[in-house]
Chain A
Amino acid sequence: MDKVMSNKWIITLYILPALLFIAVLIVIPLLLSGYFGLMDWDGIGAMQFIGLDNYITAMQDSKFWESTLHSFLLAIFSALSLLLYLVVALILASKIKGANFLKKIYLIPMLLSSVAIAQLWIKVYNPSNGMLNSILTSLGVENPPAWLADPNIVLYAIFIPIIWQYAGFYILIYYAALKNIPESIIEAAKIDGASPIQIAIRIKFPLIMTVFKVTIVLAIVGSLKYFDLIYVMTGGGPNGASEVMASYMYKLAFSSYDFGYGSAIGFLLLIITLIVTFIIRKATETKDTIQY
């Protein structure tokens, strides 16, 4: 039995396709990104080794820092929006009729492509006849903002569709976790005279802490990788006001044909993402898991 199930040839045969594709199309490109970052290269002509020049340029490039800042702002907004989702999930999980149906309605935006979402929200934000400004004008607002064209507003305007897109996903996760809490614990607290809000804050929230921590990692790390929505909605504009790390990298490589510098930014994006993941995982690590 053991001999059959540890046949080296068969193991290799079964594991090799997956491993080969992952090595060639994920691992090697990631390493190459760091290597290309050491080159002066337009993507077509010969590469010229220039050492750490691209990385040094990045450190002094205000556009790179701005886009990094925007990525981190989106990450912080996303982490904060988790509280909003949690409140909705708490309400939804408190024996509400039709919870299943509502949960599904909330989830629909998550399933649409970012491009469709971006195009839809461009229309919502359209200054002259979009849904939002039509509502605002009918409410008596005289000069509603040009949402995506105003550098001071654009990042917040982009964040609304992000909240919209992911709401159902996080609500679903919290809802599942809340439903796993044994009824007896809640009943005991009720008998002790705890109010629903006390139960939510003192009992339910601590009990789903592990799941909450996972979602923090997901939200923050996910935000650092945002690209599609921003690329389609504003292309990083106006004047770089909504540029994020990934869109800056894309622009450098595929619009300015600066593949060397683009690769360096891509590699920095990788490093930053890994460091941030590591830090939040460490910061949210639990030593004792809750038993019930």
Chain B
Amino acid sequence: MHRVGYILLYICLGVVGVFQIFPIIWLVSFSLKTNQEIFAGNPFALPTDPKWENYLKVFEGGIGTYFWNSIWITVVATILTILIASMATFAITRMKWKLSSFVLGIIMIGLMIPIHSALIPLYNMFLNVNLIDNPVSIVVTYMTYNLPITVMILLGFYTTLPREIEEAAIIDGSSIHRLFFKIILPLSAPIMSTTVIINMIYNWNEFVFVNTFISSDKFKTLTVGIQNFIGQYMTDWGAIGATLVISVLPIIIAFIFFSDKIMEGLSASAVKG
């Protein structure tokens, strides 16, 4: 009886697992097929003769530009967010002032609001300062809209640091900047790596800001760029599959290496929400 029960439970979990992973495997499989194989063949069949040229075609079509834009925008926005968020969290948790919880409240507003409500005014503001179709608008919005979640993840760690750290540093004659940059920041490396990876995932996957603020192909990121590609190849399913695989691959690789950090960040951001 006991054993039958366990087998049933495993079947349940297995079905969920197949449901979660199968569409992705199917995607990889059709990215290596010809249209003929996709249209006439069994959807479960593995590609008989993998068509790697689908990937070549997509790179020749210019996906590299989008890929590069995604990379540099993600990296720059992530670095800025973490730096600014760490400074703010330091001032809020470690320094003594009356308005700290009020300021924290303002920062946390960003967690509740629908970004779409701010989209038209943002578009108008960027238009007025000539930042429409300029990647600066993307970097600053990514940075700002990720600040609240980053501060929230850092907050728990910063509050648990012992007070003695500051006392010792200050008695030794260290300045606050030295204390922050040389002691607190290095100490927070473990939690910082969680925020880095969470920021990178958000930035890599962001769609609506790029779709609204950027019109030239040369500045588009992968999430928006793949829309173009799919339009361009319309019926070439192999090329479409290759495009999608290229766009999700970095995240899947990151997940293989940093899954624990990612899960930590995701649950931290949810449970406190």
Partner-B contacts on A (CB < 8 A): 1-2, 4-8, 10-11, 14-15, 17-19, 21-30, 32-33, 36, 43, 88, 91-92, 94, 96, 102-116, 119-121, 123-124, 128-129, 131, 134-135, 138, 164, 167-169, 172-173, 176-177, 211, 214-215, 217-218, 221, 224-225, 227-228, 231-232, 245-246, 249-250, 253-254, 259, 262-263, 266-267, 269-270, 273-274, 277
Residues B91 and A169 in contact, CB atoms below 8 Å apart: no
Is B192 an interface position by the 8 A CB rule? no
Given A21-B84, A269-B114, A273-B113, A111:B201 Cβ within 8 A: yes
Partner-A contacts on B (CB < 8 A): 6, 9-10, 12-13, 16-17, 19-21, 23-24, 26-27, 30, 38-39, 42-43, 84-85, 87-88, 90-92, 94-97, 103, 106-107, 109-110, 112-125, 140-141, 143-145, 147-148, 151, 166-167, 170-171, 176-177, 180, 201, 204-208, 212, 222-224, 226-227, 230, 237, 240-241, 244, 247-248, 251-252, 255, 259, 262-263, 266-267, 270-271, 273
Given A21-B144, A111-B252, A214-B273, A172:B266 Cβ within 8 A: yes
Residues A172 and B267 in contact, CB atoms below 8 Å apart: yes
* Residues on A with beta carbons closer than 8 Å to the beta carbon of B270: 169, 173, 214-215, 218
* Residues on A with beta carbons closer than 8 Å to the beta carbon of B96: 2, 5-6
Inter-chain CA distance A119–B266, complex, in Å, is 24
* Residues on B with beta carbons closer than 8 Å to the beta carbon of A14: 87-88, 90-91, 95, 180
Q: What residue of chain B has the Cβ atom nearest to residue A268's Cβ? A: B117
16 contacting pairs across A/B (C-beta < 8 A): A1-B166, A2-B96, A19-B88, A26-B118, A33-B118, A36-B124, A96-B9, A102-B16, A113-B204, A115-B227, A129-B39, A134-B42, A164-B23, A172-B263, A269-B117, A274-B112
Residues A173 and B271 in contact, CB atoms below 8 Å apart: yes
Inter-chain CA distance A270–B262, complex, in Å, is 29
